[in-house]
Amino acid sequence: MKVTIIGLGLIGGSMAIALRKSGMATSLLGIDLSPAHAAKAVQLGIVDRMISENELSQSDLVIISIPVDACCVLLPTVLNLISPTAVVMDMGSTKNLICKTIAAHPNRQQFVAAHPIAGTEFSGPEAAFFGLFEGKTNIVCERGKSSSYALGVAQKVFDSVGLKTIFMEPEEHDKHVAYVSHLSHVSSFLLGQTVLDIENDEKNIFDLAGSGFASTVRLAKSSPDMWAPIFEQNAEYLSQALLEYIMHLQKFQYFLQKRDTKELHKIMTKANDIKRILKN
Amino acid sequence: MKVTIIGLGLIGGSMAIALRKSGMATSLLGIDLSPAHAAKAVQLGIVDRMISENELSQSDLVIISIPVDACCVLLPTVLNLISPTAVVMDMGSTKNLICKTIAAHPNRQQFVAAHPIAGTEFSGPEAAFFGLFEGKTNIVCERGKSSSYALGVAQKVFDSVGLKTIFMEPEEHDKHVAYVSHLSHVSSFLLGQTVLDIENDEKNIFDLAGSGFASTVRLAKSSPDMWAPIFEQNAEYLSQALLEYIMHLQKFQYFLQKRDTKELHKIMTKANDIKRILKN
């Protein structure tokens, strides 16, 4: 199968590596706006060569893994250019706008809207690695709007890289990821910012940072180019999640200021219930 | 050296294991309020046997690793009971109140106020393991108020378990850890709470939780019995840190609601500077 990856970063690059290893891709082609990323991806052997959009018509499968705003712009063009038997999928972290964008496209049924819940705080082709998707969850939205052929090809791809696929409507998807993914990123970015701010006054503060801080602030290293468009597209749900989070923090701060340790203990005990979900 | 560990949880237990392995402790004795923890610690071989307070006078070194409120109550008694050549140290995450509590104690110079920045989200003797302190930072407060003999013994202990010690005044310590440790715990507890709340309405939301969520919410599993007293003792600095964090979150939410993606991008780019501090 001739596969073109548009966007050779962490996700696209790791997809290419996995598809080559599994034998699904016999030929791997790349498109990337960044000449540096393109050169690196070829040098690392992630793709065989770079192509231009004109060559897209020769691909059996096109995987788009670029920031979600760019994806909304590019996807209609890609659907115009591909052969009638080709399949296109995206990997974006928001699904509502992208699905709306191509809802009326004549080739809509050749597209599968996917979101593999996988990643690290790193980006670019050097961040790509084999095994990123192994055992992770993948969400496919609007399955009814993809042809069964397209869904079949997509399923083979997901299986071959180790993704377990579940199905959801775009609104439901965006709401859920606002809480379990996007909010985590915001909390981490701003925890980092808060501590960097105080560092201006208090030198060597980071000598005291332990593994707990490192863990909660890890996502603050994530790429703003990737995340700003995600937050924009999911602004409504994320804003709501953020307000709820702020409300909880304010309540905690209120009890803290009152030295109401009993109430703080109660809040933490309730939060301990997260053990039920996170086994490790 | 005859060592007594008061509080056989994650920290006390790991200290016992490390001191036995290094050969520093020839005899390891334990005191714990919880009969279950006491039995477990003996069963696991963490300590040789449990003792009562009356036997404290026979110890060369007493390490107190219990919640910081209990430590403030117990430490004066321990300083009353020990032999004139014994050394006592605590392991608490706040240092201001404990130092004030025993400031006028006649045996103050036998005490070393320590805080090894090490831990996991787990607690109890089963959570203890060899290597917890290896390469971690340890803060000693009010070094001038400990005898040089006590500091020497303490330094040998820290060296033998792999801790790198720095010195700080209690107020400075408490302020710094409010930002780089305690705030992380609050942000994590309440992130957990926010997502658990929404789960009441949205079933299966956790199917979508990836490693990013797991990382930011990990500390929400921490023990409320240990953390409630820490937050109480550090309420002033933590409250201030929390207000700054909330202010950053509100600002972000404002730009999000305005769909001012440029401003969000700018905030995240600044937060990326955390890479400078966290190398991995």
Minimal CA separation from A194 to chain B, in Å: 6
Q: Strand locations in chain A, DSSP E?
A: 2-6, 27-31, 49-50, 61-64, 87-90, 111-116, 137-141, 164-168
Please answer whether residues A256 and B241 qualify as being in contact, where contact means their C-beta atoms are separated by less than 8 angstroms.
no
pLDDT digits 0-9 by tens, B71-88: 999 999 999 999 999 999
Residues of B whose CB is below 8 A from A196:
270-271, 273-274
Beta-carbon contacts of A69 under 8 Å, excluding residues fewer than 6 positions away, are A229, A232, A233
Q: How much is the pLDDT for A279?
A: 66
- Cα separation, B133 vs B116, in Å, equals 7
Q: How much is the pLDDT for B203?
A: 73
- B236-270 as b/e: b if 16+ CB within 10 A: bbbbbbbbbbbebbeebbebbeeeebebbbebbeb
- On the question of pLDDT at B280 being above 80, the answer is no
Residue B203 CA to its chain's centroid (Å): 35
| Domains observed in chain B | 2-168 (3.40.50.720), 173-276 (1.10.3660.10)
Q: Which of B117, B165, B168, B216 to mutate to test the interface with A (most CBs of A within 10 A)?
A: B216
Of A193, A212, A246, nearest to B271 by CB-CB distance is: A193
- On the question of pLDDT at A256 being above 90, the answer is yes
pLDDT digits 0-9 by tens, B180-225: 999 999 999 999 999 999 887 777 777 888 888 999 999 999 999 9
Q: How much is the pLDDT for A39?
A: 97
Chain A residue whose CA is closest to B263:
A228
pLDDT digits 0-9 by tens, A84-141: 999 999 999 999 999 999 999 999 999 999 999 999 999 999 999 999 999 999 999 9
Split at pLDDT 50, 70, 90, the class of B276 is: confident
pLDDT digits 0-9 by tens, A38-70: 999 999 999 999 999 999 999 999 999 999 999
Residues of B whose CB is below 8 A from A241:
194, 198
| Distances from the Cα of B95 to the Cα of A108, B139, B176, angstroms | 63, 10, 11
Residues of A whose CB is below 8 A from B238:
256
Split at pLDDT 50, 70, 90, the class of A280 is: low
Are A191 and B183 in contact (CB < 8 Å)?
Answer: yes
Nearest residue to A67 via CA among A239, A228, A179, A237: A228
Are A194 and B207 in contact (CB < 8 Å)?
Answer: no
- On the question of pLDDT at A32 being above 80, the answer is yes
- pLDDT averaged over every residue in chain B: 95
Are B242 and A252 in contact (CB < 8 Å)?
Answer: yes
Are A257 and B272 in contact (CB < 8 Å)?
Answer: no
Q: What is the DSSP letter of B94?
A: -
Of A212, A241, A268, nearest to B194 by CB-CB distance is: A241
* Amino acid, single-letter form, for residue A267: I
Minimal CA separation from B135 to chain A, in Å: 11
Mean pLDDT of A148-157: 98
Residues of A whose CB is below 8 A from B139:
208
* Amino acid, single-letter form, for residue A124: G
Predicted TM-score (pTM) of the model is 0.92
The DSSP bridge partners found for residue B168 are B141
Q: Which of B173, B221, B225, B278 to mutate to test the interface with A (most CBs of A within 10 A)?
A: B278
Q: How much is the pLDDT for A87?
A: 98
Look up residue B10 and give its two tokens: 């994650």
Residues of B whose CB is below 8 A from A220:
271-272, 274
Q: What is the predicted ipTM?
A: 0.91
- pLDDT averaged over every residue in chain A: 95
Please answer whether residues A127 and A120 qualify as being in contact, where contact means their C-beta atoms are separated by less than 8 angstroms.
yes
Q: Which of A208-217, B15-24, B157-166 has the lowest mean pLDDT?
A: A208-217
Nearest residue to A129 via CA among A137, A138, A118: A118
pLDDT digits 0-9 by tens, A155-214: 999 999 999 999 999 999 999 999 999 999 999 999 999 999 988 777 777 788 888 899
- On the question of pLDDT at B279 being above 70, the answer is no
Q: How much is the pLDDT for A239?
A: 97
- Helix, strand, or coil (residue A52): coil
Q: How much is the pLDDT for B136?
A: 95
